[in-house]
Amino acid sequence: MRCLPARLLILSAALAANFAMAQTHMPVHADRPVTLVVSFPPGGAPDQIARLLAPQLQKRWKTPVIVASRPGASGNVGNDSVARAAPDGHTLLITPNTFTMVPHVLPEGARSHADVIRDYTPIALLSSASMLMLANPKLGVKSASELVKLAGTKPDLGYATSGAGSPMQLAGEMFNKAARLQLRHIPYKGTTPAINDVLGGHVMLTFLGVPVAKPLIDAGRLVPLATADKVRSTFLPDLPTMQEQGLPGVEVDISFGVYGPKNMPAALADDIHKSLRETLAKPEVAAQFKSLYQVVEDQTRSAFVEKTRSDYERYGRLAKEFGLLAN
């Protein structure tokens, strides 16, 4: 009987340790870092989101969480590195859903990359940010419907994008179809030079996500004409959608999510999803997303799996319809 208290003490300690581990929802090995891979250059929305989440997850998982920028080949350098990683939760991809579009716009000889559906495990939807149609103030229009009327008198009117086969081009071609216009597509090598030429008045139109566009709108340097999404943006509630301006079907739907390599155990993916959901629910984290002009989303993992497949199929149809092809 004298041994009973000691045994109970050991048992209680073990239960407490297990409870503490459960409370952290730690899906990874504490002796190894977790890498959040971003397939775009530093400073963009995916990078900002990853750097916002990293310290939160590090605190929660009690293990280092680092952000690795691996741009190149339309995002495939970083994407492929995650697809090849061990499915142990230590390598995760943070990406916009337009990564489901990339396979459909690459030239035939450049399509030997990881398969979006087969080679990744969808884990969590994080946030969304609407695409906007914008104009240089000198163009003199304040809505997409006004632009349609003006375009008939300006046959050389064009829109700048980050490159051929980009989501910006998709938005432009969807607008052309809805408005029965043929605005010229003017591709650049990246978003920054495209924006610079619109700000300088060399090209009068472009399409940008709210996180990039909002500061330029607030500064009076660009005029928002329409929201290219199903609903109005939380950050520009007075800006009508294309649909509201009589231009149906111009919906690009930009969101950001987390993926792991294929063959990740479902229980592990579910644990990481839970960690992310509970992190996003924290008021200070939601406020940080708001400061980036991102809307935090709340979706089950099964719904995110279906969204990934739906996005892949939708972008495939649209890329074929509009003949989108990256350089």
Give residue 16's pLDDT: 44
Tell me the CATH number for domain 32-129+254-322: 3.40.190.150
Q: Give which of 322, 2, 282 is closest to 172, Cα–Cα.
A: 322
* pLDDT computed for residue 1 by the predictor: 42
In this prediction, residue 110 carries a pLDDT of 62
* Structure token digits, residue 220: 């009076």
The whole-number pLDDT of residue 152 equals 85
Say what the pLDDT of residue 244 is.
Answer: 98
What's the pLDDT score for residue 112? 57
Predicted pLDDT at 40: 87
Domains 32-129+254-322 and 131-245 in one fold? yes
Q: Where do the structural domains in the chain lie, given as residue ranges?
A: 32-129+254-322, 131-245
Encode burial over 259-286: b for 16+ CB neighbours within 10 A, e otherwise: bbbbebeeebbbbbbebbbebbeeeebb
For 137, the token pair is: 């103030």
Q: Provide the residue-wise pLDDT of the chain in tens; the chain has 327 residues.
A: 444 444 444 444 444 444 444 444 455 566 789 999 999 888 889 999 999 999 999 999 999 999 999 988 777 888 999 999 999 999 999 999 988 998 899 887 665 578 999 999 999 999 999 999 999 999 999 999 999 999 989 989 999 999 999 999 999 999 999 999 999 999 999 899 999 999 999 999 999 999 999 999 999 999 999 999 999 999 999 999 999 999 999 999 899 999 999 999 999 999 999 999 999 999 999 999 999 999 999 999 999 999 999 999 999 999 999 999 987
Q: How far apart are CA 190 and CA 101, in angstroms?
A: 17
Distance from C-alpha of 268 to C-alpha of 34, rounded to nearest angstrom = 14
Nearest of 313, 324, 296, 282 to residue 59 by alpha carbon = 282
- Kind and range of the H or E run holding 65: strand 65-69
Give the pLDDT score at 315. Answer: 94
pTM of the model: 0.87
Contact partners, residue 244, CB within 8 Å, separation at least 6: none
What pLDDT sits at residue 33?
94
The CATH fold assigned to 131-245 is D-Maltodextrin-Binding Protein; domain 2 (3.40.190)
